[in-house]
Structure 1
């Protein structure tokens, strides 16, 4: 890829993407923005296949993707280096995942009734998949079964992981009975609670800051220096964040007219989110904590896969 070629940046077209929109609209972010409504798991596949260069997605998805043992992953494009590295922090606050079921599922009345049920996920390895294990860990649903070498294998807390790709498919599945529940960001889900399409059972917060920026390993030279276009893009995103914070009414208008949110929900979300002043770099302690919790939850296995410090190309 030549220096003049615009980067292809993957993002989830939700309210969190507003500063990226402003970076392009007002500050000349020179990149092709490619929406991934199906989320972080899909972006991992696209990074590894070379379809995108940079992506903004969920911390737990990125870490799970790099932390898995390459010999056990079903992703043939994993390669020897995982395909991407963490280079930036996009959101400082945790993410509130709403736990949803179908509108007419009287047998599901509480989070505890979901144990052993069918969980809908966008993709294997996505945030919605990873948080299923975090929920199970918090609820003490994880039961060690057999020892493999020095590792304990954990029985699945759910009867099935139903891969459904999109938010709409997830909503349809809990109403048809294909899945019993799914987890998705609170404000993205709220409109469908208000309309009566789905029903809220509970919520769970990520134990870590929620969004990170990653770059393809193809964008690093032999000395591990990052392509200047990524540095420039992160500077533009910094300007987009500053604009977002100084022009909240413009942000609300964009979120409520171009994205799938009411003005009221957009304003409520603004009270809950904190973006960094500078997105460059990732805190090692955050990734250590994420890896430790994902190991406890059985998503990752200690001694296998990439170490936390190896996942980060740019610290802060």
Structure 2
């Protein structure tokens, strides 16, 4: 069997957003090995660079930061090939249940921020928050420490035992832990860009002749998304029984999310806007790392301005 006839290994975050991917496999015959990464996009970047996965579906800001940093290894290891979610992501800002000294977002300046990994969305958005709050000073960190905690469970524990003061994670994934009283909500911040993108290993992307399995993935994902849009009850049942959400939260989330109608391709303007904000926030440096045009795979529906 040649390598190109092996099933794609697709990294994904096992949260509510993964439902159309599940439907693509269940109802439309997507032949792929789905590999969960509960620790998020930063972990997937490591995995795609080391050859453990072929494709990743994760957060725009983490993929862009991974390619835009000056220390990205080799050719960066992957390119952004598709769009998964069109709507922004609402990041909830959380602290421990018994941390009365943390009263508001403004009280977090100079505190310890918990993140899943270096380069993860949870770290990148920390800088975007600092930029929005006016905490950025050249040459200084807006936080006293970035505490790497790997996953959501460790982040929740850390803000309660004082290892970290706050962290940011997706709103609906956090909500049940507010409802149970395990953690407390301090605020929220929306990504200033569409929130989820699809990337592929550069090994799958020879010039002008992308791996045929990618084209099949886009077709099946489009079908999974279309099915998701017209089968909300089935989506809610899956999310509330197989994933960590209540039925009410699943239904509320459905009102807030819009998946891409056509997953293949990326609008360069979205990547340019993301890079611009990440430079302003001090995540990326002007003139270093890959430029936005080079982050996209040519020949895969990438939308370059004429």
Q: 1:231 aligns with which of 212, 215, 218?
A: 215
Which consecutive residues of structure 1, in runs of 5 or more, have no partner in the other structure?
71-77, 145-153
Q: 2:130 aligns with which of 130, 133, 136?
A: 136
> Matched residue of 1:155: which SS?
coil
Which consecutive residues of structure 2, in runs of 5 or more, have no partner in the other structure?
none
> Matched residue of 1:169: which SS?
helix
| Residue 261 (structure 1) aligned with residue 262 (structure 2) | no
The 1-side partners of 2:73 and 2:62 are apart by 18
Q: TM-score, normalised by structure 2?
A: 0.97
The 2-side partners of 1:193 and 1:127 are apart by 21
Which residue pairs with 2:280 in the alignment?
296
Shift of 1:225: 2.0
Which residue pairs with 2:115 in the alignment?
121
| Residue 215 (structure 1) aligned with residue 200 (structure 2) | yes
Q: 1:101 aligns with which of 95, 114, 121?
A: 95
The 2-side partners of 1:30 and 1:107 are apart by 51
| Residue 277 (structure 1) aligned with residue 261 (structure 2) | yes
| Residue 155 (structure 1) aligned with residue 156 (structure 2) | no
The 2-side partners of 1:218 and 1:118 are apart by 38
Deviations 1:153-176 (A, max 9, x none): x31000000000010000000000
Which residue pairs with 1:200 in the alignment?
185
Shift of 1:218: 0.5
Cα RMSD (Å) of the superposition?
0.8
| Residue 251 (structure 1) aligned with residue 235 (structure 2) | yes
Q: 2:86 aligns with which of 83, 92, 112?
A: 92
Which residue pairs with 2:31 in the alignment?
30
The 1-side partners of 2:52 and 2:164 are apart by 31
Q: How many residues align?
A: 299
The 2-side partners of 1:299 and 1:59 are apart by 14
| Residue 60 (structure 1) aligned with residue 54 (structure 2) | no
Which residue pairs with 1:42 in the alignment?
43
The 1-side partners of 2:89 and 2:180 are apart by 23
> Matched residue of 2:4: which SS?
coil
Q: TM-score, normalised by structure 1?
A: 0.94
| Residue 83 (structure 1) aligned with residue 68 (structure 2) | no
The 2-side partners of 1:224 and 1:120 are apart by 41
The 1-side partners of 2:290 and 2:61 are apart by 14
Structure 1 stretches (4+) deviating beyond 2 angstroms? Answer: none
